[in-house]
Amino acid sequence: MLALLVVAILVGGSLQRVAGMGFGLVAGPFIVLLIGPVEGVLFVNLAGAMMALLVLGRTIRGVDWRRYRWLVTASILVTVPAALLIRDASASVLEISMGAIVVGAMALAQITSRLRGAERAFAPEARLPLLITGAAAGFGSVAAGISGPPIAVYSVLDRWDPRAFAATVQPIFLTNALAAMTAKLLVADATFPDLAVWEWATVFVALLASVGLGELLVGRISASATRKVLVTLAYVGGLATLTRGLLGLAG
């Protein structure tokens, strides 16, 4: 199990360094399958926070702090209500809902973006889209361990530069993950997986290695290719969450 966990971390972490997100989307579903739905999501929150902190150390100069403030404020405001909701609601139903919304929203964003061409869907200083996106990201972080897809939808509609996006989402992921962990530990009675000290150490080394692998790739991928990776990851995350919910409901 630990070997599979390390592989998932290496792939997801390197993608996060390149495209700004990918750890929760790619590694998350596999981690949940390996560890379990409750402990797995909490583990994804913890490892995701560590990953975001490591990547932020490399990208902090490119962070758009104005967008960060609006996104993270809305995200934190929905954290406790979301934790209360998942305490009594079916995890499968939440995952199905979240996955379907992400896939549908990204498809709509892609269509809108193509119709508008180079034109933004809203003014760059608009606050309402940021607040809606932040709330969706916060709910996704608590319910399914993912907060990237709603922000990816925003980035497509806003024509956000992929490098600036990759930098700005790191403190957002870090804040969301810490808030989600705190809310679930205090409100939803969640627990971390029972791993030995050496297993936790192996996980941390894998996180470091994934950032190093991403560093080797980031300079070799163009902005347009990075945007394509970002959109693909959003679809993968939404479909994986939707599938996980359907399998849970069927089981």
Q: What is the mean pLDDT of the chain?
A: 82
pLDDT at position 118: 62
Higher pLDDT, 184 or 76: 76
Q: For residues 113 and 153, is the Cβ–Cβ distance under 8 A?
A: no
Residue 145 has pLDDT above 70, yes or no: no
Q: Tokens in use for 82? A: 């979301």
Mean pLDDT, residues 21-42? 76
Share of the chain above pLDDT 70, in %: 92
Mean pLDDT, residues 25-36? 75
d(CA 161, CA 164): 5
What is the secondary structure of 34-61 as a DSSP string?
Answer: HH-HHHHHHHHHHHHHHHHHHHHHHHGG
pLDDT at position 235: 80
Q: What is the pTM of this model?
A: 0.78
